[in-house]
Structure 1
Amino acid sequence: MNFKDVTICLLAAAMSAGAGCSSPRASAESPEALPFEMPAVPRPQIPARAVSIVDFGAVGDGHTLNTTAFAAAIDSLAAQGGGRVTVPEGVWYTGPIVLKDHIELHLERNALIVFDNDPAHYPLVETTFEGLNTLRCQSPLSACGAKDVAITGRGVIDGNGDAWRAVKRDKLTDREWKAKLASGGVLSDDGRTWYPSESYKFGATSGADQNVSTWATTREDFERMHDFLRPVMVSLHHCENVLLEGVTFQNSPCWNIHPAMCTNLTVHNITVRCPDYAQNSDGIDIESCRNVVVTSSRFDVGDDGICIKSGKDEAGRRRGIPCENILVSDCIVFHGHGGFVVGSEMSGGVRNVLVSDCIFSGTDVGLRFKSTRGRGGVVENIWIEDITMNNILQEPLLFDLFYGGKSASEALAEGGSAAAADLEPKPVDETTPAFRNIHIRNVWCRGARRAMYFNGLPEMNVEHVTVENTHIYARTGARINESTDVVLRDVQIIPEEGPALMLNNVKSLRVENFTCPDDLPTALQVTGSRNRDVEIRSPHITASNASLSETSAGQVAINR
C-alpha cells in the first residue's frame, strides 16, 4: 500500500481551499487510499482584503512597543469580516497578539516579530498545559475558539525565551554560564540552576508537578509564581481551519506551537528552532486535534520535535477527545528529545496516524512512544514508513510505558526505566495505558546507543507491532520487553557489542529473515519466565549462539 500520493493529494486539497480530491478515497493516483478514513483538510477562508500594521501606527525600529497597533489592525479587519494583517520588513517589538475569525497574520520578507520579555505584560489566563487545565501566562500569539485563522509568510517570530527559561549549569559552556549570571536572575540553592527571577524560583521549588503547579488553588497562589508559569509561544485552542505556513518560529519561552482541540490544521514549510539547552522547548505539540497535515517542515529544539498528545490522567480521560487523523510527511528534526513522539499525555487516546519520509538527526530518540501507569488511554492504528536517522543518542525506536518525566538520556543517567526480568503485573483498569496496532517499515539508522527498546507493562503489553525492512547500526542490539504479537520481518541489526536481539517476557513473537553479524558470540538472548510461542527464523541465529533462560527453552523455536 502506497500512502505517499494520498498525503500529497490531501495537502494539495488544503492548499487549494478544498478543491481537488475531497477525500482520500477519491484520489485517482492512489485508489487504495489511507489505511484509515480521513477527509481532505480545508484551507482557512480569508477574505481578500488587507491592511498593514503601519497603517495603525506601528513602528518597526525594534524598540517601539507595537501591541496596540497589532490589536487595532486585527480589530479593524475583524469588524469587516476578516482579512490579511501584513507585517512588512522591520523589527516589530510587541506584547501579546490575539487572532480572531478569518484573520491571517502575514509576515513579509525580512519581517521579524520580537515579543516583549516583560512577564508583567502577560497576565495569567485559563488554559491547558501538559494535559491539565491550569493557569499560565498569556501566550505571545494566540487564538481561542476562532474559525479560519492563519500565520503565513517569510518572516520570523521570536518569543524572547531566554528571558523566561531556567537553565541548568551543565547545559552551558563556561562562557555561556558567565553571560547568564551577568544578565541578572537568581541561582538555585545548590548554585547549579539559573532562574530568571525570585518568582520563577518560588514556583520551581514549591512542589510543582513538573511544570504545572498542582498545589495552587487560588489565583493568589498562582500569582506568587507568575514568572514560573511561562507561556507557550503560539497557542491555538478550540480553533477550526488553521494554517501555519512559511514562517520561522523561534526562541519560545516554553513549547513553541500548541494546537489543542482544533479541527482541520495544516502546517506546511515552517521552521521551529530553539537552543538545545532550552527546557520544555517542544517544536509542535498537537493535542486532542483531528484532521491534521504536517509537511515539509524543520524542527531544531531542546525537547520533543513533533509531538502528539491528548490530555493527562483523569483530566484527559474526562475530556475524552482523542488526537486522530494525523499525517506527517517530509519533515526533519534535529536535536531534541524525540523526532516523532506520542505521549506521555495521551489519556484521551491517539489513533489513525501516518508518518512518512522524515529525517531525524541527533535526537535523543527517533520514534518515541511514552506513557506510564495512571495515564489510561489507547494509542492505536499508527503507520510509519520511510524514516532515516543518524547519531541518535539513545534508541531509533522506543516504546516505554514506564516513562518517568525525563528524556531518554536523563533517564539513563539516573538508572534507566524499569526492565527487570519479571516485574509483577498490576490490575488493569481505566488508568492502564495501551499501545497497539503499530506498523513500521523502511527505517534506516546509523549510530545509536541501542537499536530498539520495547518496554511494555506486564499487565498491558505493547501489542500488535510490526517492524519491516529496517536496518540499524548501534552500539547494542534491540531489547523487546513485555510485548505481545510482535513481528520483525527483514530486520538487520548490527551491534558493536552484545547480542543483536534480547527478548524478555514476549508472547507470539515472530522474527523472519533477521540478519546480524555472523561472529557474535551470542546473537539472541531470552530472559524472563513469561515467554510464550516465540519463533526465530534467521540465517545468523542458531542454537549455538542463542542464550535461553530455563523457562524459555521450550517456548523458543529457532529455524524450525
Structure 2
Amino acid sequence: MKKFLLSLLFAATLVSSQAKDFVITKYGACKDSTKLNTLAIQKLIDKVHKKGGGTIVIPKGVFLSGALFFKPKTNLRLLEGAVLKGSDDIAHYPLIPSRMEGQKLDYYAALVNAYQVNNFSITGPGTINGNGEKFWKQFWAYRDSLKKLNQVATNLDVHRPRLIFIWGSNNVTIKDVKIRNAGFWTTHLYQSNNVLIENCDIRSPYRPVPAPSTDGIDIDVCRNVIVRGCYISVNDDAIAIKGGKGPTAHTLPENGPVEDILIENCTFGETHSVLTLGSESIHAQKITMRNCRVDNNAPLLRMKMRPDTYQTFENITIENITGKCGSLVNMSPWKQFFDLGGSSEKPFGTIRNIIFSNLTIQCNNLGVLEGNSSDVVSGIVFRNSTIKAEKPTLKNAYPQVEMVNVTVNGTELVLNKN
C-alpha cells in the first residue's frame, strides 16, 4: 500500500507539472443548461489528447452532456459551482462493449468514461450530476407493470447509464468531487489498479423518487483501491465488491479477484449496506474498513452467498466504527436470478478470517450468519466492542464464530449457536 501511495503522489506531481488547462467555454461549450454540449466537449478531449495532454476544465455553470470518452493524458476538473449534468435521453449514451453485473456484454456508456487511461484524474470541487430521475421513474413503472403479470424485472431491463465508468486504467484519482443522482451505478471501477477516491460526496435519493441500483462505488476486478474521507448515501450498496458470477466465472479471463482495498475515515448515510461482497464476486481478499462513522439502518458488512458461483471471501477487517446501523453483519443466500447455465458444477462459498473489532455501535440487532448449506466458514471474530442493540441477537449457524470482550447492552455477550 505504501508503494501505491508513492506511485499516486508521483503520478499527481507529473500530471500537475505537465498538464495544461482547457476551459470548455473557450472551445464551443455553451452555458445554456438546456443545450447539449457533448460534441463540443468531446471534440476538445480529442484535440487535447492529440496535442499531448491536458485537463478539461468545467467552469461555473451547468453544462448538459451525453457520454464523454476521455483519452490518454487527459483529465477532468470541475471548478467551484461547475455542474456536468448528464442527459436524461438514453440515445445520448451509445451501446458499446462493456461490463455490467459481473458479465461481459454490450451496454450503454456512462456519462464519464475512461478506457485504458492511466494517470487519469477527476477533481473538484464541482459536481457531476447524473440527472437520473427520468430513468428511475421508467424503472419503477416497468417493474410495477411486470408485477401485475407476476413477472420480475432485472436491473438491465430498463436502459440507463452509469455516472462514471473507468476500465483498464491504473493510477487513477477521483478527489474533492460532488457525485450525484446516477441513473444506474454511480462509480464503477473495472480492471483498474492503484485508485484513490478521496473527499468525495456521493449521493442518490431514497425520496421522493427512489434511485434504484445506484451503488456508490463498485470495485470490480481491481487491486490497490483507497476510499478515504468520503460521504456516501445511495439507494443501494455504498461500496460493493464485484468480480463475476456463474458456475464458471472463476475460469473466465474477464473476471478475477478484488484485493488490497482500504476504506477509511468515511461517513455512510442511508444505504442498503455499507460494504457488500457480491452479488457478483468470486474472490474478495485483504479488505479493510476502518475509522468510519455510520448513520443508517443497514448492515456494516453484507455477504451475498450465490449458490451458482464459487466464492471466496477472506481476510476482511472492520474496525473502529462508530454510529448507528441496522446490524453488524448479514451473510445469507443470494438466489436472485439463480442460473447454473446447464452446468453440473456444485458451487460453494468459502468464508474465512473476517474480523470485527473496536465497534462502538447502536444497532437494531447483531445480524445474520447463515449461508448456503455447502458454504465453508471459519475465523469470524468479534472483539473489543461495545454494542447497544434493540434486539441483542445474532442468528448464527456456525460454531466457529467467536466473541471476545464484546459487550451488548452492558452485558458481555456469550455466543450460542441458534
Using the size of structure 1 for normalisation, the TM-score is 0.67
Confirm whether residue 387 of structure 1 aligns to residue 321 of structure 2.
yes
The 5 A counterparts of 1:187-336 are 188-189=144-145, 210-212=154-156, 228-276=158-206, 277-314=210-247, 316-317=249-250, 318-319=252-253, 320-336=255-271
Residue 61 of structure 1 aligns to a residue whose secondary structure is: coil
Distance 1:304 1:159 in 2: 18
Correspondent of 1:457 among 364, 369, 372:
372
2:90·2:159 contact (CA, 8 Å) conserved in 1? Answer: no
Give 1:50 deviation, angstroms: 1.8
Structure with the larger RCO, 1 or 2 (CA within 8 Å, 6+ apart): 2
120-129 vs 281-290, greater mean Cα deviation: 120-129
Residue 63 of structure 1 aligns to a residue whose secondary structure is: coil
1:456·1:481 contact (CA, 8 Å) conserved in 2? Answer: no
Correspondent of 1:360 among 294, 298, 301:
294
Distance 1:403 1:267 in 2: 29
Q: Give CA-to-partner distance per residue, 1:501-546, whole Å, 9 cap, x none.
A: xxxxxxxxxxxxx715xxxxxx87654xxxxxxxxxxxxxxxxxxx
1:451·1:493 contact (CA, 8 Å) conserved in 2? Answer: no
Give 1:345 deviation, angstroms: 1.1
The one-letter code of the counterpart of 1:300 is: S
Give the RMSD, CA atoms, in angstroms: 2.8
Percent identity, please: 26
1:100·1:147 contact (CA, 8 Å) conserved in 2? Answer: no
Confirm whether residue 98 of structure 1 aligns to residue 98 of structure 2.
no
Correspondent of 1:374 among 283, 302, 308:
308
The 1:54/1:383 distance shift into structure 2, 3 A limit, reads: same
The 1:160/1:433 distance shift into structure 2, 3 A limit, reads: same
Show structure 2 runs of 5+ residues with no match. 338-343
1:254·1:281 contact (CA, 8 Å) conserved in 2? Answer: yes
Confirm whether residue 340 of structure 1 aligns to residue 275 of structure 2.
yes
Residue 147 of structure 1 aligns to a residue whose secondary structure is: coil
Paired position in structure 2 for 1:403 = 334
Give 1:343 deviation, angstroms: 1.3
Give 1:331 deviation, angstroms: 0.7
The 1:44/1:331 distance shift into structure 2, 3 A limit, reads: farther
Give 1:53 deviation, angstroms: 0.8
Distance 1:460 1:315 in 2: 17
Confirm whether residue 88 of structure 1 aligns to residue 23 of structure 2.
no
Paired position in structure 2 for 1:73 = 44
Confirm whether residue 153 of structure 1 aligns to residue 124 of structure 2.
yes
The count of corresponding residues between Structure 1 and Structure 2 is 406
Give 1:168 deviation, angstroms: 8.5
Q: Give CA-to-partner distance per residue, 1:255-314, whole Å, 9 cap, x none.
A: 100001111111111111001121101101111101111100010111110111111124
The one-letter code of the counterpart of 2:295 is: S
475-484 vs 368-377, greater mean Cα deviation: 475-484
Q: Give CA-to-partner distance per residue, 1:49-87, whole Å, 9 cap, x none.
A: 221111211112212211111112111110122111111
Distance 1:313 1:44 in 2: 42
Distance 2:106 2:215 in 1: 19
Q: Give CA-to-partner distance per residue, 1:156-200, whole Å, 9 cap, x none.
A: 11111001124788xxxxxxxxxxxxxxx77944899xxxxxxxx
240-249 vs 56-65, greater mean Cα deviation: 56-65
Residue 16 of structure 1 aligns to a residue whose secondary structure is: helix
Give 1:239 deviation, angstroms: 1.3
The one-letter code of the counterpart of 2:375 is: M
Distance 1:486 1:186 in 2: 42
The one-letter code of the counterpart of 1:13 is: L
The 1:50/1:430 distance shift into structure 2, 3 A limit, reads: farther
Confirm whether residue 112 of structure 1 aligns to residue 56 of structure 2.
no
Give 1:447 deviation, angstroms: 3.1
Paired position in structure 2 for 1:444 = 360
Paired position in structure 2 for 1:471 = 386
Distance 1:308 1:138 in 2: 21
Residue 412 of structure 2 aligns to a residue whose secondary structure is: coil
Show structure 1 runs of 5+ residues with no match. 1-6, 19-41, 170-184, 193-203, 214-227, 407-427, 496-513, 517-522, 528-560
Distance 1:302 1:474 in 2: 24
2:229·2:264 contact (CA, 8 Å) conserved in 1? Answer: yes
Using the size of structure 2 for normalisation, the TM-score is 0.89
Structure number with higher strand proportion:
2
